[in-house]
Amino acid sequence: MRRFLMVTTAVLATLSAAPAAWAQGVAGAQAGPATQAAAQGEDARLAAWFETAFDQSLALSPESMTSLGIKTDYDKLDDYTDAGSAQGQALAERQLAEMKAGFDYDALSPQSQVSWRLFEHGVVQSRLGEQWRDWGYLFAANRNPTTGLPVFLINEHAVDSVEDARAYVARIREAERVMGEVTTVLKARADKGVISPAFVFAPSIANTRQVIAGAPFDDGEDNPVWADFNEKVEALDADAAAKAALLDEARAALTGPFRRGYDTVLAALGELQTRAEAMPDRNAGVWRLPNGKAYYNARLQLSTTTELTADQIHDIGLSEVARIQAEMEAIKAQVGFTGSLQDFFVFLKTDPRFQYPNTPEGKEQYLTDARAFITQVMAAAPQWFSTLPEAELEVRAVEPFREATASIAFYNAPAPDGSRPGIYYVNLSDMTQVLKPQIEGISYHEGAPGHHFQIAYAQELGEMPRFRRFGGYGAYAEGWGLYAEGLGKEMGFYQDPYSDFGRLSTELWRAVRLVTDTGLHAKRWSREQAIDYFRQNSLLSERDIVKEVERYITNPGQATSYKIGELKIEELRDKARAALGDRFDIKAFHAVVLGSGSVPLDVLEEQVDAWIAAGGGQS
Assign 3-class secondary structure to 110-150.
HHHHHHHHHHHHHHHHHHHHHHCHHHCCCCECCECHHHHHH
pLDDT tens track for 436-495:
999 999 999 999 999 999 999 999 988 888 888 988 899 999 999 999 999 999 999 999
C-alpha 250/C-alpha 256 separation (Å) is 10
Q: Give residue 309's pLDDT.
A: 98
Which residues have a Cβ under 8 Å from the Cβ of 573 and sit 6 or more positions away? Answer: 589
C-alpha 519/C-alpha 534 separation (Å) is 12
Which residues have a Cβ under 8 Å from the Cβ of 276 and sit 6 or more positions away? Answer: 195, 196, 197, 198, 200, 201, 282
Q: Give residue 121's pLDDT.
A: 86
C-alpha 202/C-alpha 272 separation (Å) is 11
C-alpha 458/C-alpha 15 separation (Å) is 11
Q: Give residue 19's pLDDT.
A: 31
- Between strands 422-426 and 393-397, the pairing is parallel
Q: Give residue 117's pLDDT.
A: 86
At residue 100, φ and ψ (nearest 5 deg) are -65, -35
Residues of the chain with pLDDT under 50: 1-31
Q: Give residue 8's pLDDT.
A: 33
C-alpha 583/C-alpha 342 separation (Å) is 43
Q: Give residue 596's pLDDT.
A: 86
Q: Give residue 3's pLDDT.
A: 37
Is residue 352 within 8 A of residue 585, CB to CB? The reply is no
Is residue 119 within 8 A of residue 600, CB to CB? The reply is no
3-class state of residue 573 by DSSP: helix
Q: Give residue 463's pLDDT.
A: 82
- pTM equals 0.90
C-alpha dist (Å) from residue 562 to 98, 478, 482: 35, 5, 6
Which sequence spans correspond to the domains of the chain?
2-131, 145-196+198-282, 294-566
User: At 409, which helix (H) or strand (E)?
Assistant: strand 409-412
Would you give the distance in Å from CA 125 to the centre of its chain?
Answer: 17
C-alpha 366/C-alpha 355 separation (Å) is 10
Which residues have a Cβ under 8 Å from the Cβ of 414 and sit 6 or more positions away? Answer: 391, 392, 420, 421, 422, 423, 456, 459
How many H helices and E strands in the chain?
Answer: 27, 4
C-alpha 359/C-alpha 356 separation (Å) is 8
Strands of the 2-3 sheet, one edge to the other? 2-3, 409-412, 422-426, 393-397
pLDDT tens track for 42-70:
999 999 999 999 999 999 999 999 999 99
- What is the residue type of 331? I
3-class state of residue 272 by DSSP: helix
Q: Give residue 38's pLDDT.
A: 62
C-alpha dist (Å) from residue 198 to 186, 253, 281, 408, 545: 14, 32, 9, 21, 18
Assign 3-class secondary structure to 486-548.
HHHHHCCCCCCHHHHHHHHHHHHHHHHHHHHHHHHHCCCCCHHHHHHHHHHHCCCCHHHHHHH
Q: Give residue 344's pLDDT.
A: 97
C-alpha 165/C-alpha 170 separation (Å) is 9
Cis geometry, peptide bond prior to residue 449 (ω within 30 degrees of 0):
yes
